[in-house]
Amino acid sequence: MPEPKFDACHIRFSPDDKAAFVTCGASLAEAAARAGVLISLPCGGRGTCGKCRIRVLSGEVTEPTDAERSLLTEAEIAAGFRLACQARVLTEAALEVPQDSRALDRKEIGLLQSRRFSFEPGVCNCVVEVEQASLGDQRSDLDRLRAALGEDFDLPCSLKALRRLPASTRASGRSTRVIAAANRIVHVSPASELNGIYGAAVDLGTTTVVGYLFDLETGEYLASAASYNPQARHGADVVSRINYAMTNSHGLTDLHQEAVGVVNDVIAQAAHQAGVGLDDIYEVTLVGNTCMHHLFLGVDPRHLGQSPYVPSLTELVNAEARDIGLDVHPSANVAVLPVIAGFVGADTVGLILAGELTERPHAAMAVDIGTNGEVALWNGRDLLVASCAAGPAFEGAQIQHGTRAMPGAIERVEVRDGDLLAITIGGLPAVGICGSGLFDAVAVLLELGAVDSMGRLVAAEGLPEALARRVSGEGPSRQVLLAAADESGDGRPVVLTAHDIRQVQLAKGAVRAAVELLLAEAGLTAEDLGEVLLAGAFGNYVNPRSILRIGLLPPSVPEERVHGVGNAAGAGAALALLSLAEREKAVELAHQAQHLELFTSIKFQEVFAEAMLFV
């Protein structure tokens, strides 16, 4: 490889208008990932698929490799096209990324791209001509504005909007803009003054929080951001959060402020990426499990943790942003979607809504694999739901090198020539392993005989030679090397430990038990399921074969009927933001759902014990 001309190269990407400094000699794929532009790397960057084409607009990169010469035409190379996994930057450069070379952002709401809905947001924006006051017309500014708006618009006006009324209705041109949300006038200004109308949809998870930003005038998706839920310092699951709220005098306040704080954080990150002012966000929709729902609203969740485990409220809540403490337009409407039961929340409603589960002509199941696992089953007539405590393993928590689905996370593990091949998001050096990588890693180790039916990592003797070299330690301290120190982002090896596999075993056992009991309740067998939707913060990539191999679903479900749908709960929140009709549908679904209580079920314990085994 020719010597790079500088130590660090500034690489700019279009049409994203994103940039990053990378060490010269880094691959184009690595530079893209560092800039937050994700490239699809179907062959894991081995230069065999030719799908990662990027066009070099300016700057110098390495000469085409043999792989590039065999996968690109001469005309393409002459036009500047290169393979992102092969070509390396030598100088400052400008690169263009074609749409078909892009990977879905792991936070992205894939379901929304294929889901049809009518775009009718809850924020309405109109411009009216307001009559000027005169000695002959001494109606107040507000009365003249209301008259201009017409009878159907007899809405209360927020204090902030009232304060802007005198100047707005007297501005030259006399055209006045009115923005209303949830039956309140929230903004008044001269018509010429408008920065845009935006909305945010948030999935407030027990472990991971994701926010999505949309343009509410066009419906366009603008940006997303994710963060870990800071409440995790009080415990990994909802029961520990409830306990913290019950046993500390400031518990509820702490948890409420942390929930609001992290929602503010993801909205601010997304708004910053999109160059949108927080004051121009006029509506926020939010989904979360019932505990997160209560804590976000500041409602005491203690009764969720005590028999009979009832929520304090289940319906859709509309509140003003200022009352909750959200740093968006202070009068913005915050719509918190309805919950179903004490442990089946608005995230499940979002999943059912986005996955159109009840529209399916056949029996179908949706499984949300989060810290609180939720399962919904549609048998063509009834909608049954249940939840289980899966633990945060599949979101990367309580796993030694677990991480969120982010650039550099190992998202796939395959077997190549008897050895493990770890493939990371963006083709970056490994920073850890995310949920989909965990499914794969355990499935592959089961397949190779490195994990036994009890979930124990076996000794290296007897394993294929390449794999045996990756196994170290004894008994419960045994571990498998996934990425060596020189393949990782921070110079430390990425390993999968016996304890990690135990966490996966507990999580999959809980979800599987919920699946089995719901099927039994509905009088169905696994073969009856026409489709199974797998949702979760692990991202849009999930290998159904791995899911079936680890036994998270019954093995008799045909592989081709299992589909990963990414963060479907977030997609549900986005639908409720973009369409009032979808928001109403969410309310109907929450009413329609019949809850099966597993929390205290003896049967659940029996099925769980069996479902823990790897068979």
Q: Which residues bind ligand FES (CB under 6 A)?
A: 41-43, 45, 47-52, 83, 85
CB 553 within 8 A of CB 509: no
* Dihedral of alpha carbons 217, 218, 219, 225, sign: negative
Task: Give 344's DSSP letter.
Answer: B
- Pick the closer one to ligand FES by CB: 51 or 360: 51
Nearer to ligand FES, 48 or 58 (CB): 48
The sign of the dihedral angle between the CA atoms of 304, 307, 309, 310 is negative
The total of other beta-carbon atoms located within 10 Å of residue 513's CB is 26
Minimal distance, residue 100 CB to ligand FES, in Å = 13
CA 611 distance to own-chain centroid: 27
Closest distance between ligand FES and the C-beta of residue 154, in Å?
Answer: 59
DSSP string, 187-207: EEEETT-----EEEEEEE-SS
Whose Cβ is closer to ligand FES: residue 41's or residue 384's?
Answer: 41
Cα–Cα distance for residue pair 159/329, rounded to 1 Å: 12
- For residue 581, the minimal CB distance to ligand FES (Å) is 41
| Minimum gap (Å) between residue 37 Cβ and ligand FES | 15
Q: For residue 250, give both structure tokens.
A: 């400031």
CB of 330 to ligand FES, least distance (A): 47
Q: Angle CA(590)–CA(596)–CA(601) in degrees, nearest 5?
A: 150
Task: Give the number of other Cβ atoms within 10 Å of residue 6's Cβ.
Answer: 12
CB-wise, 29 or 568, nearer to ligand FES? 29
The span from the CA of 585 to the CA of 563, in Å, is 23
Q: Which is nearer to ligand FES, 409 or 586 (CB)?
A: 409
Report in angstroms how near the CB of residue 407 gets to ligand FES at its nearest.
15
State the minimum distance, in angstroms, from the CB of residue 29 to ligand FES. 7
Which C-beta is closer to ligand FES: that of 49 or that of 77? Answer: 49
- Least distance to ligand FES, CB of residue 560, Å: 24
Give one word for 537, left, alpha or beta, with left for phi > 0 and alpha for psi -120 to 50.
Answer: alpha
Mind giving me the DSSP string for 547-563? HHHHTSS-TTS-GGGEE
Nearer residue to ligand FES within complex by CB, 48 or 183: 48
| CA-atom Rg of the chain in angstroms | 26
DSSP symbol at 26:
-
Query: Pick from 567, 539, 532: which is nearest to 553 by CA?
Result: 532
Q: What are 534's strand-pairing partners?
A: 367, 564
Nearer to ligand FES, 41 or 304 (CB): 41
Q: How far is the CB of 42 from ligand FES (least distance, A)?
A: 6
Q: Shortest distance, CB of residue 598 to ligand FES, whole angstroms? A: 43
User: 8-14 and 18-23: which strand pairing?
Assistant: antiparallel
Distance CA 50, CA 72 (A): 7
Nearer to ligand FES, 44 or 230 (CB): 44
Report the alpha-carbon distance of residue 498 to residue 67 in Å, rounded.
39
Quote the least distance from Cβ 67 to ligand FES, whole Å. 7
End-to-end, the C-alpha distance of the chain in Å comes to 48
Least Å distance, CB 103 to ligand FES, is 10
> Residues 279, 189: contact at Cβ < 8 Å?
no
Structure tokens that stand for 369 in this block: 């694999």
Residues 6+ apart with CB under 8 A from 520: none
Q: Work out whether the CA dihedral 497, 502, 507, 512 comes out positive or negative.
A: positive
* Cis before 308 (ω within 30): yes
Identify whether the C-beta of residue 329 lies closer than 8 Å to the C-beta of residue 321: yes
- Report the residue number, 103 or 179, with the smaller CB distance to ligand FES: 103
Let me know the angle formed at the C-alpha of 324 by 571 and 213, rounded to the nearest 5 degrees.
30
Rounded to a whole number of angstroms, the minimum distance from the CB of residue 53 to ligand FES is 8
Please give the Cα distance from 169 to 211 (Å, whole number). Answer: 35
Q: Who contacts 414 (Cβ-Cβ below 8 Å, separation ≥6)?
A: 44, 420, 421, 423, 440, 444
Question: Quick one: 71 or 529, whose CB is closer to ligand FES?
Answer: 71
Q: Which is nearer to ligand FES, 52 or 352 (CB)?
A: 52
- Write down the least CB distance from residue 54 to ligand FES, Å: 10
Rounded-to-integer distance, Cα 442 and Cα 461, Å:
19
Closer residue to ligand FES, CB minimum distance, 49 or 587: 49
Closest CB to ligand FES among 49 and 246?
49
